[in-house]
Amino acid sequence: MSEKNTDMIRHIRHLILLSGLGVLAAIMTISVHFLTPEPVIKPKEDKKEKVDTSQYPDVTIVLDPGHGGYDSGTIGYSETKEKDLTLTYTLAIGERLKKLNPNLNIVYTRDSDEISWEKDEEKDLIARVDVAKENNADYFLSIHVNANTNDLEATDYDFFVRQDDKVSQAIAESIIDNLQENGWDYESFILDVANYPLYVVSDQDIPAMLYEIGYFSNPDMEQVLLKDETVDLIADAVAQAYHQYILEHDEKSK
């Protein structure tokens, strides 16, 4: 056999050997894949620390949805009733406050369209203040919607407080800050009830505030106020403001 043929045979044997080794390696890889157990992927642990609310203040807040029952309040441009929207906003605020601080005692002057007082405007207002007094309330907040038929483009939102009530003034400022941080860029005012007599605010000796969330007489703003996302925005801003103030200024529960 010639030397050339001998080299060719060696070369062929070498190729066969390499091919065999390749096949063997592939078989071993496949075997390892099937014999090796699948790794157990543990769900990521929620590293967010749970807040201990057990020592949060246990103060009482009276939330007052304006109007109700026989009194529809302001009628919106599209015939929406103020009493219905104030109830929606007030319940949303109460719900968020309770989530932030389960120790809070939330009292509503009404939690439906049913009212517990006579169909009389003066007795109506007195009854709301009486709810706060009877429950030894620490804070009082009344929710309303404004109207101005002489200015259908009005869009501001207003807070009515007593001049000596620095607590409600501070909370109102905090609500405004919270709203502005989330894009609510309407103009706002904090007004003294000495110039705008409001019984539910002026006849109390606790921090008391009436919040006009906007104007129903403005057709565009009415539609904005009716949106679920607006309810969420305002309710969150109000609840956070009260919650933060209470944490910083009220005694801890025992």
Tens-place pLDDT, residues 59-79 = 999 999 999 999 999 999 889
Does residue 78 belong to any structural domain of this protein? yes
Co-location of 107 and 11 in the same domain: no
Does residue 73 belong to any structural domain of this protein? yes
Closest CA to 53 of 96, 105, 97, 102: 102
Beta bridge mates, 159: 190, 211
245: buried, middle or exposed (CB in 10 Å: 19+, 13-18, 0-12)? Answer: middle
Co-location of 23 and 76 in the same domain: no
pLDDT value of residue 32:
42
Structural domains counted in the chain: 2
Whole-angstrom distance, CA of residue 152 vs CA of residue 173: 26
Closest CA to 232 of 47, 96, 74, 106: 96
pLDDT tens per residue, range 236-248: 999 999 999 999 9
145 near 86, Cβ under 8 Å? Answer: yes
pLDDT tens per residue, range 191-237: 999 999 899 999 999 999 999 999 999 999 999 999 999 999 999 99
3-state secondary structure of 25: helix
Co-location of 68 and 106 in the same domain: yes
Co-location of 176 and 134 in the same domain: yes
Co-location of 95 and 184 in the same domain: yes
Does residue 80 belong to any structural domain of this protein? yes
Co-location of 31 and 81 in the same domain: no
Does residue 50 belong to any structural domain of this protein? no
pLDDT value of residue 10:
54
Q: Report the predicted TM-score, pTM, of the whole model to 2 decimal places.
A: 0.80
Whole-angstrom distance, CA of residue 36 vs CA of residue 40: 12
Closest CA to 155 of 179, 174, 132: 179
| Average of per-residue pLDDT values in the chain | 86
Structural domain that includes position 84: 60-249
Alpha-carbon distances, residue 74 vs 9, 53, 81, 140, 209 (angstroms) = 104, 39, 6, 22, 19
Quick one: what percent of the chain has pLDDT higher than 90? 75
pLDDT tens per residue, range 7-63: 554 554 544 444 554 544 444 544 444 444 444 434 445 555 678 888 899 999 999
Does residue 254 belong to any structural domain of this protein? no
